[in-house]
Structures are given as C-alpha cells and as structure tokens.
A and B are shown apart, each in its own frame.
Chain A
Amino acid sequence: MEANLPVELQNRRTFPGKYVMIGFICLLLAAGPLFISTYYVNLLFMVGIYAIISVGMNIIIGYSGIVSIGHAGLMAVGAYTAAFFNTHFGTPFWITALIGIAVSLVIGSILAIPTIRAGGVYLSMITIAFGVIIDEILIRWTAFSGGPLGISGIEKPAVGSYQFGLTQVYYLVLIVAAAAMALVCNLRNSVWGRSMLAVKQNVIAAESLGVKPFNYQYAGFAISAVFAGLAGAIYAHANSFISPDIFGFQTSIQLVLIVILGGAGTVWGPVLGSFIVVILPEVLQFDHLRLAVYGLLMFLVLYFLPKGIAGTLADYMEKKKAPAESPADRHSIPLEQLLRAHDAAASSGTLLSLRNVNKQFGGLHVIKDLSFDVPASKVLSLIGPNGAGKSTVINMISGFYTPTSGEIFLNGQKIDGGSPQDMLQKGIARTFQHTRLFSDLTVLENVMAGMSRSHKQNLFSALFRTAGMRKQEKQIAAMAHAYLDLVGYKGPRHVKAGNLPYGHQRIVEIARALATKPSLLLLDEPAAGLTAGEIVELELVIRRLKEAGLTIILIEHHMDFVSRISDKVTVIDYGRKIAEGTADEVKDDPNVIKAYLGEEEMPNAENF
C-alpha cells in the first residue's frame, strides 16, 4: 500500500513503525517451520507458490487491466518443462527452473500478442481458450507429459548431495516471493509502472503522451509468464508429482480471485489473497456447498469490494491521512529546460497548415474542405457553434483521426495520417474536452507520465532499480513539480488525481501536456469549469508559453477570454470555415453572428 506512493515519498515514510512491523512478520515467517508442523509449513508453501504467480498476475490485472483466466496454463508449462527435463535427463532443479522460465516466457509472449490485440472480453476468452488447449495437450501428448496420470518421481531440489526437505523448499519459495514483490514494487515506481497504469486508466490520453500501449502490456504479460513458469517449476520439484488436473480452469479462476480479493494493483494484495484462498478450504471442512461458498465469496468481493481488501484499506488510509507535501522536493528549474528549444527563425512564419481537409464518418460529412494556417509562436483560437467540428479538427491534428482527404503540414512536412504517438514525436501535444487524467495516479505522477517518451528506461533497470534509474526518477519528479508550478497549480500533489476538483484537473492536464515538451499545444476548452480567477491565471500561463516560443491552438467558448488571448481566430460552422481574422474582426462578421444566433435575431456584439 505504501509502496504505491512515488519515490520521494517512500523515503520519508514514518519510521520505525512500518519497518518494525515488516521485520516482525519476516522473522515470524522465517522462524515458523521450527515451531509448526509440516502441515502448516506445507500450507505456507502453497501460499508462497500462489503468491509468486499472483504477484505477476497483479501486474497485468492491476496495472494493465488484462484479466487473464488462463495463467494456470503458463504455470503448467513451467512445471511440465522442469519435470520433463528432470525425469528424462536428470537435470537438477536449478537448471530445469531456468529452462522452465524460458519456455513459459516464449509461450507467454506468443500468447500475449493475440490477447492484447483483442482486448476486453475477447481477451479473457482467448486466455480461457489457451488454458483449455494446454490442458488438452497435456492430456494427449503422453510422450512429453505422461498423459492424464502425469509425471511422478520428480527429484527434490538439491545442493550438492544435500536434498531439500519441505522446510528448505518453503524458504526457497519465501525468498522468491519476496524478491518478486520487490521487483514489482520497483516496476510500479518507474516509467513502466506509470505507463502501464496510464494505459489501463485512459488509453487515449496515454497515446496522446506518446505511449505505445502494446509494448507495456506485452512486457507485463511476459513478466507474469516468467513468474508463473517459475512457480510451476518449483511446485513440480517440491511435490514430486504433477498432473494436468492441477493446472485446470479452476486453478486459473482461483488465481484471478486471489488478485481481486487481495486487491488488484496493491503490493500486499496477492499475498493476502493467496493466504485466504489456500487456508479457506482447510478451515471450511463442511461436506457440502464448499464450492458455492467460493463462488459467493468471489461474487461478494466483486460487488462490494471491487478494490479488494488491501485496495480498500489503502484508499481508506489515504483519505484519513493525506501524505505530507514537502516543498523541499522542488528545485527551481529554468523555463528553457522545461520547454522545447526553438530557434528564432522558426518562430516566424507558419507552423501548421491545413489544406482542403475533409473528414467523413460513413455518410456523415463532418469537416468540409477546411484550410487554415497557424502562425508560429502565436495563439490561434478555433471557435464555432456546438457540433461545428472543432474537436474533430483537433483530433486530426493530434493523430487520433485521419483526414478522409486533404493534407496537414507541420513546418512544411506532411503529417496527416500519423498516429498519436507519431504526432507527439513531432512535437504536438494536447488536452481533451473531457479531462482525461489518470485517476489512480497521483497529480505528480500524471505529470511525470508526460515524460515517459523522453525519459526512457529499460525494463531491467526499472525492475532492479539501478542507480542510474533512481537518478532519472528524481529528475523526472523535479521537472514534474516545475511544470505544475509553471501552470500555477497550487493544490496537493500527492493525492490521486481522480479526487481533485474539476478545475484543478484541467490545469494539471495542461501541465502534463507541457511535460512532453511540445512545439504545438492543442487545448480543447481549457477554460471550461474554471473560476474567473483561474481563467486569469490561465491567461498568464498561455502568454508566458507563447513568449517562450510555444504555438498554441485553443478551442473555446468563453468569448472574452478568446478576445483577450488570441492573435488569430478561425471560425467554423458545420465543418466549414466561415470567418478568420483577429477577434474584433470576427466578432462583427455577419456570417459568424448568423451561425451563433440564427438569422432572425438582431446582433448585439456584447452578448457573445
């Protein structure tokens, strides 16, 4: 729970309370086997096995929103590979585990591709289908798997001539589970973790920040496959026997239940969930309706505790005591470092131009033959009645739609048809008409997410939290603070963005867009929902940005705001440009008045 907070905050946790508790638990777990019988050690062993797999599944379910109901199949792959090599070639556990991991990784990676591409319920069905296929293969490919009666006689892990007993295997599992949890924790507080969550919560916003969803979901899937395969290999060697019915659909459901019951996306959720799912059948010794109780439990958790036990607790604790804000984190960073470097030559002339752009959706012709230029380092406002197509224009410039015909040029280069990630790379950033912040990330993390593309981290350094990566994280955090200062955000920074008042969210979204260091900023109704005072602040920010060389396109309905801030105004109605010029020129244009008010009314300029 605590480990969900960003880096700087972890370091100033209340010591020693938390550490003492963790230390105590560790001591208990380590000393346990000395005091309890093999029955309990075996149970703890199983808790550990499930924890290892579910820590991995937590990444894909909790961070990526990919609900895989077939991970028992990946566990089976690891288990059977290890068992095969051990019983046929006498390969010791330490090597078979590595082979098992490799094979699960390969198969998991292959499975990941159609799974991620499909999404939604299709995704879950594909994972179920995968589980069924693995089950069938294990039953029928007798030469490899020993058929439905499985493989017996797998050797226990050994170091030299010392064979592992139950206690030693339990320690092994404990260490592996703890390591897995640590790795996932590290992942969470890195570009990878933030990007995964961003994709899960708002894939469109993530794409607008240059994040390619597939890469991150794929990485998460691959990691979860490794953990599942490893757990399977350990299980096989510890129990000496495996059969296909151990890795069936029911096990896959149990794994999903563990993650959800514990709390998807939390650190301790998988452990908590594993504990409950393993201990429950041992305690509920009545003869009938046990499965019905499981089903009921699952249903109740989904209905009442969708965030799981750990997740609900974490939310509750966050509401109780908001984490401390420390101004000491914030170094002042000069403006030039925050914004894209530009040369004076490029700041004259046209940055962006649309030429004869059309957009049709089936039979609906939304944008008709639209052409206009956007001067560099100036503010252009795009206005028009509701339904005129303003957002559609923005979507085309930012790569979310492709024009049906016509062209868009950036600095003379043709850019229409590019994807949102392409557009971001070319320096185009945007905000959205309906704010698309990542609600479960903190305010600061949202802005940090804007730097995902510019501050790449490789997966290894993220998982193991290398020195270089930590330094990078500090830098990203500092810059994020600076962007928030730049847009004049004065609210709390370490609370979940979803809890902010609407006006604040809009400002944070602007900071996030700025974090991508664009040369062209598209703002879709930035003033909507802001108080008068906030609008004044917004004006100041936009002026500052313009002076620093940024080009800005604005969609707005607040006409006085538009008048004050715009260098140029373009008016469209029913997808066509009907007027263009300065704000004053456009205000008096009869076509514009007609478009807004209709023909019968007498125009009154002040009533815009």
Chain B
Amino acid sequence: MHLAVCCKGIPEEAGNFSFSTDGNHLSFDTASVILNESDEYALDEAIRWKKRIGAKVTALTLGGLESQEILYLALAKGADEALRIDSSAGSPWEVATLLGKAVERKEADLVLVGVQSADHMASLVGGLVAESLRRPFIFAVTSIEIIADRGTVIVQRELGEGRLQRLEVQLPSVLAVQTGICPLTYAPPARRLRARQKALEVLDPEQLGFPAEILGRYRKERIEEIMAPMVPQSAAMLQGSPQEVAAFIVERIREAS
C-alpha cells in the first residue's frame, strides 16, 4: 500500500501580496512557509496508517526551494520519501495537473490532500487531481479505514452542516482530509535535524511532461484586478470595568436585535 500526501507550503505570515509575474495568481511576500494545517492532518493520518499496516508514505509538494522545509518536516514525522515539484505554478488546474503526474509516477494507491489551504481556501486541488487521474474523490473526510485485502477504503465524511456519511470507495482514490481527523504529532528538533540529511527528489514540470507552454493551457481563469486592502473597519473599542462594558453592550444588543 502506497500513500501519497500533497502538502502545501503557505506563507507563515501573509505580508504584502502582489501579482505574480504572469499576472495570473497572487504571490505573497513572505520570509518562510509553513505546512498548511489540513495537509498536516492528512500527513499525520497517512503516517498512522504506515504504522498500522506498514504502508509506504510519500510527501509531495510544489514550490520553490523554500517549500522544502515542509518536506523535511514530513520526513521527520515519518514519511518514507519526499518529492518537490520545482514550479511556481499557482492556478489550481496547473498545480493539480503536475501533482497528478507525480502521483502517477509514484504509483500511489491512495492520495491524501487537506480540505483547503489557509491562503486561498478554494478547496479545488484534491478534486482536480482525482479527476485528472480518473479516480474517485471524497471531500471532507473525518475518518479513514483502509481495507487492504478488499482494495477499498471505508471513510466517513462531512456533508456540511454537521451531517455525516459513511462510504466505501475503491482504490486507487483521492481523499481530502478534514482537520481533526487524528491528533497531530510533534517532530522533535533532533529528528528534524536528522531529516535534513535525507535526500529529496526534485522534478521540474518538463520532467513530468509539462513544459510551460503546455501547462499554461490548463489555466483558464485570469485575475484582472485586486482591490487594495479595504481599510480594516476598526471596531469601536469599549473601555471600562466588566460592569460598565456589560451595561453598554446590553444597550447595543437591544438596538441590534
């Protein structure tokens, strides 16, 4: 059983943003990237299955050199292999096309992604990867049980608004993992240091069969304009003792409701 986990590096702090050089996606001015929260749950869930059934886990990311930090973290947590696609592609269709090719190359049976990235929150890449590979896709998965001998996975997923559903899905497939699926593990500094000694695989889009001019066709949408940050509407700040503050709020509640 081979599990691939798609891990996105997101800006640690969203500082200034700008258009990318091709004008088609936003890039953030940031010193370092961190592993996106729901991807970390996907990674930890995969590693739990490595421990339970001896599955192999490969961590995948797409980005520049700075995003290798994420892969080192994945290796420290217990991933067996790590692959970085060296690309600045930003459109979900481009990203998913490349990730899909990498999954195919790695021959992974089950692909885990997080439900959404904290920077764009489009929740698209998982579904797009699945469709590019013609595999079934389940979104917002809150529990996973791999039935290796049947070649299926039994998952529970959210339907939104607190409703849940249990499903059986054939492998190979793609699951978008919801936060909270398992406890997050901590990778101690010593292990993180050791992980840095491990070799990472790096492939560029050409090596995956997608030179820039072909890849560009996968991008349909175009960002035309970004409005300057709306000046944050600052709240009227209340001062005073809890009694004074409460009295004022009660008054406002009366007006508002």
Same complex origin of A and B: no
Partner-B contacts on A (CB < 8 A): none
Partner-A contacts on B (CB < 8 A): none
